[in-house]
Structures are given as structure tokens and as C-alpha cells.
Structure 1
């Protein structure tokens, strides 16, 4: 998964995004709070149900205004509690249960 918006990551990894989420931008977070016609699309609800083995999280502040830490704080919380940043300082997070014990000790 790549959030909030990094379509090149899917192309380079030869992977498809998780269902419904090739991106998650501020207006999509707003839609999640006000869905139309029964089409629910809320990353904060769906992501904990199906946590991908890896997440590419770009902390890019969209248009210099929309900070992902604010409009998708649920993702930041999930990364903090269930993922490890590999390598430190990168944009790649690996789900903790996918890491080997020797790697965790480093």
C-alpha cells in the first residue's frame, strides 16, 4: 500500500493497490465521513481489517496545506503500533509480524 499518493510505487513493485485505495487524499478522508449511496470508503475502518505486509507512507504535505498526519492520523497511529520503518528514516514500513526476530534486535 502507498499513501497518501504514490502510484509509481505500485508500478515499480509490480503490485496492485489494496481494493479501493490507490491513493488517500484529504477529500477522500472527507468522503469517508460523508459517504454517498452506501459506498463506504474509509481507510481508517478498512486498513486495520486487512493490514498489508508493507506500507509506503510519504509524509508529503499536500499543496503545503494538508498534512497526512492530520487527515489520516489513523494510518500514522497504525504505523506506530504495528509497523517498523525499514530502514530508519525511509518511507517504507514493514508489518511487525513479518519481521524476523534477529532484525528486530538490531
Structure 2
């Protein structure tokens, strides 16, 4: 479980990846649409998506010629359970998490 937590928290540590997760809260997106608002290369976005996928936070599938990304919110469950062990954190409510991400990203 420690490896899983390390991977999830490492993925969440980057602001670009958190922004991507926030975008995917709305709906599935094509990789090119995910990349659009960022001032970095498509290759850099692909690396971020790979990290998010390895952490289980998103899934990717190919539909025709287009690669799509989908948020996998259950991946946060282990992190939520771990944080609850400290007795100071409430269970992760995805609606609250969405509000938090929007506030952090200034949306």
C-alpha cells in the first residue's frame, strides 16, 4: 500500500497534473484537448498523463485515432483512508475535492 500511496501523492504533487485532474472532473477529454490550455509541449503533457495513469488517477483509451483520458476518482480512496487514520481528515468528498481544485487553480 505504501508504494501506491507514494505514487498517488507524487502524482498529485505537481500543479500541472492537479490542473489536468481538475479538467477531467468535468468530462473525458482527448489528449490534445487536455494539452490545449498549457504552454508546454504535447510530449510533456503525455509524460504528465503517463504519471497520472501509473498512479491510477486517470485511464486512457484509444477511440479511433484519438486517445482519451478519463478521471478515476476511486484511486484517491487509499489516500483518503490513510489520511483518515490521523483522525483530522474527513473522507474525501469528490464534490469538495472539485471545489478545492477549482479554488487552487483560480477557476
Same-fold status (TM-score > 0.5)? no
TM-score, length of structure 1 as denominator length: 0.28
Between Structure 1 and Structure 2, the one with more helix by share is 2
